[in-house]
């Protein structure tokens, strides 16, 4: 799969995704400091699933109707940092086909996935 990991995304997750064979555009390596709008535009234009830990992207996508190819919001705290990769890996393994066109939230206990609708 193709992912776009924003600046707040854990670098360890980026490394694990790459090791697993995924194509990952990591904002700090390519275009550090770009705006959230530019991140969303890149995700959409390049058909990449946005991987983030920043709740502000949810507001941009749902309240302001900014298009994104797909989005995964990781809601796991610093204390449980070691659980981020296993949870993201489980989400991808189980729901890979549903991720494009959907907004997924990953926490320690469950996954929530809902369609992205742009009008």
Angle at 116 (CA atoms; ends 87, 20), nearest 5 degrees = 35
Mind listing the pLDDT tens digit for each residue in 61-90?
Answer: 888 888 899 999 999 988 998 999 999 999
Across the range 80-105, mean pLDDT stands at 94
pLDDT on residue 117: 76
pLDDT of 22 higher than 60: yes
Percent share of the chain, pLDDT over 70? 98
Task: Give residues with Cβ within 8 angstroms of 93, minimum separation 6.
Answer: none
Report the alpha-carbon distance of residue 76 to residue 54 in Å, rounded: 11
Instruction: Please measure the distance between the N-terminal and C-terminal CA atoms of the chain and give it in whole angstroms.
Output: 26
Across the range 27-45, mean pLDDT stands at 90
Cβ burial of 8 (10 Å; 0-12, 13-18, 19+) is middle
Across the range 39-59, mean pLDDT stands at 92
Mean pLDDT of the chain: 92
Percent share of the chain, pLDDT over 90? 75
pLDDT on residue 118: 62
Q: Backbone phi, then psi, for 73, in 5-degree steps?
A: -105, 120
Q: At the topology level of CATH, where does 2-115 sit?
A: Rossmann fold (3.40.50)
Task: Give residues with Cβ within 8 angstroms of 52, minimum separation 6.
Answer: 5, 6, 8, 9, 71, 72, 73, 74
């Amino acid at each position: 799969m193709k992912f776009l990991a924003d600046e707040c995304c854990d670098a360890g997750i980026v490394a694990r995704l790459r090791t697993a064979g995924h194509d990952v555009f990591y904002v700090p390596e390519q275009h550090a400091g770009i705006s959230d709008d530019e991140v969303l535009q890149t995700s959409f234009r390049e058909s990449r699933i946005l991987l983030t830990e920043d709740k502000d992207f949810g507001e941009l996508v749902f309240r302001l109707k900014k298009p994104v190819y797909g989005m995964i919001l990781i809601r796991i705290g610093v204390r449980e940092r070691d659980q981020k990769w296993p949870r993201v890996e489980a989400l991808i393994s189980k729901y890979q086909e549903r991720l494009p066109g959907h907004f997924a939230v990953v926490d320690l206990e469950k996954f929530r996935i809902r369609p992205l609708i742009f009008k």
